[in-house]
Structure 1
Amino acid sequence: MKPRTRTELVPHTVDGKTRMVPVEIPVPAPPRDWDRAVLTGVTTIAALVVTASVIWSTASIGDLLTRVVIAPAAYGAAIVFDLVWIACMAVEWLSRYDEDSARLPRNAGHGALLVAMGAVAAHGWLAGYAVIGIVGAVVSGLAKGLWTVVLRHQTPQLDPRTREFLRQELADAGVTLAVMPVRRRVQRAQAMAEAERIALGPGPDADPDESGQGADGPDGEDAPSTSGPMTIKDAVRTALDSGISDPDRVLAYVRKVADANAKAETVATYIRRAKLAG
């Protein structure tokens, strides 16, 4: 092992003048973590066992299925038997902090394993080697059992209160994630409705001067805007998000909600930029 060092600044005096100079100081190596080394070795062994199990069961089940289908399809389907319980085992690991969530993938993995073992045993029985079929099926069971032991060793044992706390934390995070797309859909729907209303203009029976008053309020003050201030860029983006793609309709919408004197060239530029931005 290469010796470890760290750099420190130490005072060094020459001719009565002191400077801080870097010096390499050796650092003692930490003791070897044998627990981690053993766990790494066991995990490696488990991975090799699973690989051997997948090869064996795929070859066995694939040969069984070639009796009725072509070899590529047979072996492609055969590997599914092991991939299913391996994927369930991975999901079980991801749910290790929530026993309730881990129960479903664990049970599904056990079921998929039994199906794979049954298929391997059936191949041996049909080939006239029942004992070999049983032994081959046990290989998949040993691989799954070894991985179960490794995962259980690395799964923290949490008390019921801590598990409930973590469950509520995940529930709160899930609510936040669920609300985000709903808000986007609501805002998009509202923007589409507003853009459609403004683009179509008033109905045929609408009175352009319903109150009989001018643009000013009854006291001579300017009437407040119903849509609030909006820039040309924002108006273009709102129109595009609402499904209005015709440049003339976008221009009409911009002139209604943002700037009555907006130029067609300016609006066209913002449309191009919005489409490029995606």
Structure 2
Amino acid sequence: MKTRSIERTRLVPHTINGKTEMVLDRYTIDAPVPPRDWDRIVLAAVTACAGLLVTASVIWSTASIGDLLALVVIAAAAYGAAIVFDLLWIMCMALEWLARYDPPRARLPRLAGHASLAVAMVAVAAHGWLAGQEVIGVVGAAVSGIAKGGWTVVMRHHAKPLDALTQQWVEKQRAEVGGRLAMVTITRELTRHEALVDAERLALRTNPDADPDASAQATDDPDEDAEPARKGPMTIADAVRTAADCGIHDPDAVLRYVRKVADANVKPETVQRYIRALRKGA
């Protein structure tokens, strides 16, 4: 039996001058080497070969379809479009691989991959037909089919379908987690919209054009006719001073103006105090 040396560590007591400390001791052991897992090695090699087949197919079909499209467009655009034919069915194979434990979800990528592969094979065959090499066109088209077939066989070996009960459990768990994930996005969207609504309300509340009373003129009170337009949040002192500058001297009219532009709950005594202070300062 083959063995291999493995280094291990352990804490051991070590005493010097009567003082003991736990120190790290390193030692090696001989552990048996497990036998090679030839099944895994073979499967990895087959998977790598399938990847090489796909790579060779992409190179061949891109060159063939690119040369076909280059008859009507510049070469750079032609070969750029040609690679799309193979990338599509390769992308579908990748999605099928991700859903290898879920046959219902893997069905759509599988069908889409077969359809896109058929289109790519027809394009390669058309290139050979236009070049007068029908046999080469058919053989070239078969390259993509062989690559796709090889990868499909490997994928079937990797796939581990779930039983019906387990599949239902997985679907319920997926739906629950998907719902929570969707609510994250929905909550973020609602929060953003609420912020926009709050910003709009604030803008309408502080915008002088949004207040119809700011431009309307009262006919029964001359002091209200001279009331200035509201320009934004104001302090009580600023409101009293603004009213005086606009010729509003009636205490009740000043009080109404201060409550409108500064503080809706201001007391009459406070306004009177500011009025007296303003008159003394004048």
Q: How high is the TM-score relative to the length of structure 1?
A: 0.66
Work out whether residues 103 and 161 of structure 2, in 8 Å CA contact, stay in contact via their aligned partners in 1. Answer: no
Q: CA deviation at 1:3?
A: 3.3
Question: C-alpha separation between the residues in 1 aligned to 2:108 and 2:186?
Answer: 28
Q: CA deviation at 1:201?
A: 3.9
1:47 to 37, 44, 51: 51
Q: CA deviation at 1:2?
A: 9.9
Equivalent residue number for residue 80 of structure 2: 76
Equivalent residue number for residue 29 of structure 1: 33
1:194 to 166, 174, 198: 198
Larger Rg: 2
Equivalent residue number for residue 265 of structure 1: none
Equivalent residue number for residue 169 of structure 2: 165
Q: How high is the TM-score relative to the length of structure 2?
A: 0.65
Question: C-alpha separation between the residues in 1 aligned to 2:183 and 2:109?
Answer: 27
Equivalent residue number for residue 10 of structure 2: 9
Is 1:111 paired with 2:134?
Answer: no
Q: CA offsets per residue over residues 9-28 of structure 1, 9 Å max, x none? A: 387999xx998743211222
Work out whether residues 93 and 151 of structure 1, in 8 Å CA contact, stay in contact via their aligned partners in 2. Answer: yes
2:97 to 80, 93, 97: 93
- Give the residue type in structure 2 aligned to 1:106: R
Question: C-alpha separation between the residues in 1 aligned to 2:38 and 2:5?
Answer: 20
The percent identity for this pair of structures is 56
Equivalent residue number for residue 233 of structure 1: none
Q: CA RMSD in A?
A: 2.9
Question: C-alpha separation between the residues in 2 aligned to 1:76 and 1:134?
Answer: 23
Question: C-alpha separation between the residues in 1 aligned to 2:28 and 2:5?
Answer: 10
Equivalent residue number for residue 132 of structure 1: 136
Give the SS at the match of 2:49: helix
Q: Which runs of 5+ in 1 are unaligned?
A: 206-255, 257-278
Q: Which runs of 5+ in 2 are unaligned?
A: 214-262, 264-282
Equivalent residue number for residue 178 of structure 2: 174
Question: C-alpha separation between the residues in 1 aligned to 2:171 and 2:111?
Answer: 20
Change (3 A) 1:111 1:204: same
Is 1:61 paired with 2:61?
Answer: no
Q: CA offsets per residue over residues 12-69 of structure 1, 9 Å max, x none? A: 999xx99874321122222111111111111111111111111111111111111111
Work out whether residues 10 and 23 of structure 1, in 8 Å CA contact, stay in contact via their aligned partners in 2. Answer: no
Work out whether residues 57 and 143 of structure 2, in 8 Å CA contact, stay in contact via their aligned partners in 1. Answer: yes
Give the SS at the match of 2:170: helix
Change (3 A) 1:10 1:31: farther
Work out whether residues 3 and 30 of structure 2, in 8 Å CA contact, stay in contact via their aligned partners in 1. Answer: no
Q: How many equivalent pairs are there? A: 207
Question: C-alpha separation between the residues in 1 aligned to 2:9 and 2:176?
Answer: 47
